[in-house]
Amino acid sequence: NAGVTQTPKFQVLKTGQSMTLQCAQDMNHEYMSWYRQDPGMGLRLIHYSVGAGITDQGEVPNGYNVSRSTTEDFPLRLLSAAPSQTSVYFCASSYSINSDSYEQYFGPGTRLTVT
Amino acid sequence: QKEVEQDPGPLSVPEGAIVSLNCTYSNSAFQYFMWYRQYSRKGPELLMYTYSSGNKEDGRFTAQVDKSSKYISLFIRDSQPSDSATYLCASRYNFNKFYFGSGTKLNVKP
């Protein structure tokens, strides 16, 4: 199993550009989520999904869109990039959220710089 | 106020020392508490978890939760240079949301 994969690893965008961060998992996990990690702020939840076709907002959703058309994929879209979105983005997945599941498996991250 | 607060450190200790890492949380509804370890430029990986109050031991690691004071601790015995990493505490709320502390950077010197 590849686990959770993310592409690209690095990206530089200009203000106003849009892009999609890709995330895929091959563990048949129902729950997937996106976090951003900033110095001194820790990991903050952007959006999450409890299954194909179901998404919801996390702690810091503004400026980001998600969709979940398959169990495996959970892309994160930046609609109009801003310097405040410079961060490291992590995708994570977990077994069914309706259980005592506690472990999230994280991808390697995407380092995004917006100039 | 963040849901989970954590001293960012850095914390530097000699090899073999006992390390104590701590977090506080604000929401009394939190029931699942986790510790993740994150090496530089890598994604976090789960180290330990506890449910409700009490202790849990796994080798050199002990996780402790005190719900009365909303305090989460991780103890590392006989610390090794390979333990050098950032340690993130986290809590799961309402099945869907996970809240993370900002992480404590630990350096174990040989």
Burial class of residue A37 (count of CB atoms within 10 Å of its CB; 0-12, 13-18, 19+): buried
| Cβ A78 vs Cβ A105: under 8 Å | no
The reply to whether residue B97 touches residue A48, judged by beta carbons under 8 angstroms, is: yes
All residues of chain B having their beta carbon less than 8 Å from the beta carbon of residue A48 are 96-97
Judged by DSSP in three states, A85 sits in: helix
| DSSP-assigned letters across all residues of A5-59 | EEE-SEEEE-TT--EEEEEEESS--SEEEEEEEETTTEEEEEEEEEETTEEEE-S
**Confidence at residue A98, expressed as pLDDT on a 0 to 100 scale:** 56
Residue A47 has a pLDDT of 96
A25 or B98, higher pLDDT? A25
Distance CA B45, CA B47 (A): 6
Per the prediction, chain A carries an average pLDDT of 92
Closest CA to B45 of A64, A56, A107, A83: A107
Segment A2-61, tens digit of pLDDT? 899 999 999 999 999 999 999 999 999 989 999 999 988 889 999 999 899 999 999 899
Q: List, in sequence order, every residue forming a beta bridge with B90; answer none if it has no partner.
A: B34, B100
Question: Do A48 and B51 lie within an 8 Å CB cutoff?
Answer: no
Contact A45, A110 (CB under 8 A): no
DSSP letter string, chain B: --SEEE----EEEETT--EEEEEEE--TT--EEEEEEE-TTS--EEEEEEESSEEEEETTEEEEEETTTTEEEEEESS--GGG-EEEEEEEEETTTEEEE---EEEEEE-
* Cα separation of the two ends of chain A: 36
Contact assignment for B43 to A42 by CB distance below 8 Å: no
Q: Of A50, A100, A109, which has the smallest distance from its Cβ to B96's Cβ?
A: A50
Query: Could you report the per-residue pLDDT of B41-80, keeping only the tens digit for each?
Result: 999 999 988 887 788 999 999 999 998 999 999 999 999 9
Across the interface, whether the CB atoms of B6 and A48 are under 8 A apart is answered no
Q: What is the pLDDT of residue A6?
A: 97
Residue A75: pLDDT above 70? yes
Nearest to B103 by CA among B32, B18, B31, B43: B43
* Spatial separation of the C-alpha atoms in residues A26 and B14, rounded to whole Å: 40
Q: Name the band, by pLDDT with cuts 50, 70 and 90, for residue A101.
A: low
* pLDDT > 70 in chain B, percent: 98
Residue A99 has pLDDT above 80, yes or no: no
pLDDT score at B49: 85
Sequence-ordered list of residues with C-beta below 8 angstroms from that of A12, at least 6 positions apart, any chain: A112, A113, A114, A115
| CB-based contacts of B17, cutoff 8 Å, min separation 6 | B79, B108
pLDDT of residue A97: 58
User: What's residue A110's pLDDT?
Assistant: 97
